[in-house]
Amino acid sequence: TRKIDLDKNLDRFEYENVAVEAPIKVFLNGKHLATVMASPQNLAEMAFGLLIDEGVVPQPGDVVNVSIDKNEVWVESRRINLDRFKSISAGVIVTSCSSRTDFHRVIEELKMSPLPLEQRVEASDILDMAAELVKRSVTFRSTGGVHSAALFIDGAMEGFAEDVGRHNAVDKAIDSCLMKDVPLQRAVLVTSGRQPADIVLKAARCRIPISVSLRAPLSSGVYAADLTGVTLICFARGRRMNVYSHPERINPLRTI
């Protein structure tokens, strides 16, 4: 890499880290479900997370075997939701750096019972979790080219992942918790990427009530959070944040 810095009058070749992405093929019961551009680490977690978060496999316990062969992940499951398999493998949406799906799924999601509202969190705790995500994101600091995601239960980080794709990072982070059987209904998902509908729906489908991002919301994300009962928090940086839906879960500050 040639580095140029006008202020330092610097123009020289130096080694630079670059975020690696590779096409990862996911097979379910021998059939090709999807090819995903992803960081080629934690592929079992990615595939497993994708299958559960996208509703293709109903329950984590349905998976009987996961094997990895280079950039291919082969998953065997006792049960498959065939409609979801078809809609993902049909790939209706050729995406735009964002959604794997379209708004119709938001409506489909409404069949789900809304998330209960009893969980209450302090704003300062949310900001502490966001700060911890930043601290853990070592690949981002080294390459600038990846997203990160983490799951917190009662303030403790239970799952963490980095990936070139913000969707994959969420799949990988959620999966490391699914494997441990942690109580997702008390979890907070914290991510570095924008929040379109399908990231919010990954949380909703796993009964995660609070989804926090360091970055911006998208209109589809706010809509999906509204309908499914997810508390959507964005721009959680430093000492401030915006709550776009179901703000009841965040305890009020005692303002002057």
Catalogue the active-site residues.
Answer: 97
CB of 231 to a second copy, least distance (A): 10
Nearer to a second copy, 44 or 182 (CB): 44
Please tell me whether residue 141 adopts helix, strand or coil conformation: helix
Return the residues of window 230-249 that contact a second copy according to CB under 8 A. 235, 238-244, 247
Cβ-in-10-Å burial (0-12, 13-18, 19+) of 150 comes to buried
User: By CB under 8 A, what part of segment 72-131 binds a second copy?
Assistant: 88, 90-100, 102-103, 123-124, 127
**Counting contacts by CB under 8 A, is residue 68 touching a second copy?**
no
Amino acid at 237: R
Show contacts with a second copy in window 10-29 (CB under 8 A). 10-12, 16, 18-23
Give the number of other Cβ atoms within 10 Å of residue 133's Cβ: 23
In angstroms, how far apart are the furthest CA atoms of the chain? Answer: 62
Provide the residue type at 245 as one letter. Answer: S
Among residues 57, 147, 225, 229, which is the contact residue for a second copy, using CB under 8 A? 147
* Binding flag, residue 168, a second copy (CB under 8 A): yes
Count interface residues toward a second copy (CB under 8 A): 75
- Least separation in angstroms between residue 235's CB and a second copy is 7
Query: Quick check: 163 binds a second copy (CB under 8 A)?
Result: yes
Q: Which of 28, 34, 47, 210 binds a second copy (CB under 8 A)?
A: 34
Residue 229 pairs in a beta bridge with none
Distance CA 225, CA 231 (A): 6
**Strand ranges across the sheet with 187-191:** 156-163, 147-153, 187-191, 210-213, 231-237
Q: Write out the binding residues for a second copy, residues 177-216 only, by CB under 8 A.
A: 193-194, 196, 215-216
